[in-house]
Amino acid sequence: MRPGLLLISHAYAALENRKKLQVLAAHFDLVCVTSTIEQRTILGRPSSDFDNDTDEPARSYQLIRLPRCGSSDTTFRYSGLAAVMRSRRFDVILVENEPWAFICWQTRFWKSLLQRHALFGEFTWENVERPGWKGFILACIYRAMTMTTDFIIAGNQAAAKLVQRRGARSNNVLVAPQLGVDLTNHQPASPAERRELRKAQGLPEDAFIIGYCGRLTEEKGLKDLLQACDELGNVHLAILGSGKLEAWLKEKSQSRPWLHALPPRPHFEIPNFLRCLNVFVLGSKPVRTMQLCWEEQFGHVLIEAMACGVTTLGSSSGAIPEVIGHDEAIFPHGDAKALVDRIRHVMNGANLAQSQLAHTRTLYTHDAVAAQWATFIQKQLAA
């Protein structure tokens, strides 16, 4: 008999992310609580592009949608969560969010009243120590979190070390991704397919194309990427997404015919963009201010690009080196010259794509991620 797992996360409002749940349900009697379908904009696109119920007939788990009370991803709570917890007995309750998020403490409260026998776990990505008074307050929250949590899944090595510094035991902490990648729509393109995909997206068919997709913000290293392409010459740069640097990119493209600023697209269209590229670059840089304290926590687009057979380069920021897993694909964050050297290495014949593809197929499929989670949680149950 499969253990009963209640998984609580707003991440599974996204249709693409629920592919992991389908695999996880082979290991658990799974109930997932996520958000109701909302009318808002995500990366410049309507939320309906990301969230719908077209997968409902094929689900092997129960999906319960609850309304969010609160605006941001860390300050909301779910209306109706107590009723879900009263509905049946669960063996494990797992919530995905940062340790200070309201939903984690709401879940912990109702679990302590209604599901006392169940193991309680959290998934966290947070990988930096905050400065000043925020750091002091968060240190106290982390200590309370580790004292009242049976196990923790950390999205990167730094997150695991952070919770262990605050009292978590190493045998109760797993380092594993939150989500995997679907190999049915993320796969390498043949030369002929690549030309057709480029033609459909308005990109030159035979050029050497470097690309990026995601949030268009300063901390993603886009200015360093543009500087590197300026120096390289004879390359095209395709950037797809939405964010604060959108107007800046459009302005730069006026004097650079090789720069293609593409509008955001639904998630299911991203693989075909990635399959157009020769090289994908994620050049994230850490930010340390009282307003924003951030370092790349995983970079899911890295495994998407590698699964598409695209040579993938990343900066030394945060979890990027451990996700890519190849030292020769890493450059110091903020160092455009080092990025130029890495790209030239690829242009001169270095073949990283095949080993990166194999790395992704071994570690980062939905099957692989779900198996890591299941093995760890079942071990916690048996302890």
- State pLDDT tens for residues 336-346: 999 999 999 99
**Local structure of residue 190 (DSSP, 8 states):** P
pLDDT band for 260, please (50, 70, 90 cuts). Answer: very high
Overall average pLDDT of the 247-265 stretch: 96
**CATH of range 4-180+365-382; options 1.10.3720.10, 3.40.50.2000, 1.20.5.510, 3.40.470.10:** 3.40.50.2000
The yes-or-no verdict on residue 44 having pLDDT over 90 is no
Mean pLDDT across the stretch 114-136? 95
Determine the average pLDDT of the residues in 154-158: 98
pLDDT higher than 70, residue 174: yes
What's the whole-number mean pLDDT along residues 145-163?
A: 98
3-class DSSP state of 239: strand
Q: How does residue 38 score in pLDDT terms, banded at 50, 70 and 90? A: confident
Closest CA to 123 of 378, 379, 373: 373
Both structure tokens of 333: 């964050």
* Span of 131-135, 190-194, 212-216, 349-353 with lowest mean pLDDT: 131-135
Query: What pLDDT is attached to residue 289?
Result: 83
Helix (H, G, I), strand (E, B) or coil at 144: helix
pLDDT of residue 48: 62
What tens digit of pLDDT does each residue of 369-381 get? 999 999 999 999 9
**What beta strand segments (E) does the chain contain?**
4-8, 29-35, 41-42, 45-46, 62-66, 68-69, 77-78, 92-96, 119-124, 151-154, 173-175, 209-215, 236-242, 259-262, 279-282, 287-288, 293-294, 311-315, 330-331
pLDDT exceeds cutoff 70 at 149: yes
Q: Tell the burial category of 367 from Cβ atoms under 10 Å away from its Cβ (0-12, 13-18, 19+).
A: middle
pLDDT band with cut points at 50, 70 and 90 for residue 47: low
The yes-or-no verdict on residue 201 having pLDDT over 90 is yes
- Mean pLDDT across the chain, nearest whole number? 95
Q: What's the confidence (pLDDT) of residue 292?
A: 85
Write out pLDDT tens, residues 293-307.
999 999 999 999 999
pTM for the model? 0.95
Distance from C-alpha of 194 to C-alpha of 273, rounded to nearest angstrom: 10
End-to-end CA distance of the chain: 18
Among 305, 310, 283, 129, residue whose Cα is nearest residue 217: 283
Q: What is the pLDDT of residue 41?
A: 67
- Please report which confidence band the pLDDT of residue 45 belongs to, taking 50, 70 and 90 as the band edges: low
Which pLDDT score, from 0 to 100, does residue 291 have?
79
Comma-separated ranges of CATH 3.40.50.2000 domains in the chain: 4-180+365-382, 191-362
Using an 8 Å Cβ cutoff, are 296 and 320 in contact? yes
Identify the band that residue 117 occupies on the pLDDT scale cut at 50, 70 and 90: very high
Neighbouring-strand partners of residue 63: 32
Domain 191-362 is in which class? alpha beta
Given a cut of 90, is residue 85 above it in pLDDT? yes
CB-count burial class (<10 Å; 0-12, 13-18, 19+) for 40: exposed
pLDDT band at 50 (very low <50, low <70, confident <90, very high): confident
